[in-house]
């Protein structure tokens, strides 16, 4: 029987090594996404999203909790799905809270310059 080799390495052996490392991707990826979603959730908390965007805020909180739970049970694909949703909801909560705060504070105009009306301009032109 002829063995297949790639760069002097038996392909069967190389395939076995690659298969053993492929199982490590799920836990690493889910942990990274959960940490990312968690930091976005904390950022949403800092801009008072629970007050200005309660739906998005609490949705992000619950999906983050569910992602951590699924990761603890070893269901990494589900944990990744829930972490992505939690991250998106936390970002939406941040944006909504930021926009609501901006509208609440109103326009920031300092010492507005009074503008001349058109009739004053016409009078100035006619008197000269």
Question: pLDDT by residue (tens digit) across 17-63?
Answer: 655 555 567 888 999 999 999 999 999 999 999 999 999 999 999 99
Residue 6's DSSP bridge partners are 9
Tell me the pLDDT band of 1, cut-offs 50, 70 and 90: very low
Whether residue 15 contacts residue 64, with contact meaning beta carbons closer than 8 Å, is answered with no
Instruction: Sketch the domain layout of the chain as residue ranges.
Output: 22-103
Predicted pLDDT at 20:
56
Give, for 90, the enclosing helix (H) or strand (E): helix 76-105
Whether residue 15 contacts residue 66, with contact meaning beta carbons closer than 8 Å, is answered with no
d(C-alpha 64, C-alpha 33), whole Å = 10
Predicted pLDDT at 105:
76
d(C-alpha 45, C-alpha 93), whole Å = 9
Give this prediction's pTM: 0.66
Q: How many CB atoms lie within 10 A of CB 115?
A: 7
């Amino acid at each position: 029987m002829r063995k297949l080799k790639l760069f002097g390495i038996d392909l069967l052996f190389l395939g076995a090594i690659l298969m053993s490392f492929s199982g490590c991707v799920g836990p690493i990826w889910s942990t990274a996404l959960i940490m990312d979603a968690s930091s976005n959730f904390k950022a949403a908390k800092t801009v008072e999203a629970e007050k200005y965007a309660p739906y998005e805020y609490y949705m992000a909180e619950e999906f983050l909790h569910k992602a951590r739970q699924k990761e603890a049970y070893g269901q990494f694909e589900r944990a990744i799905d829930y972490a992505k949703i939690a991250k998106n909801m936390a970002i939406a909560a941040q944006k909504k809270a930021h926009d609501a705060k901006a509208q609440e504070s109103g326009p920031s105009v300092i010492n507005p310059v009074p503008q001349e009306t058109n009739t004053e301009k016409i009078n100035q032109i006619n008197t000269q």
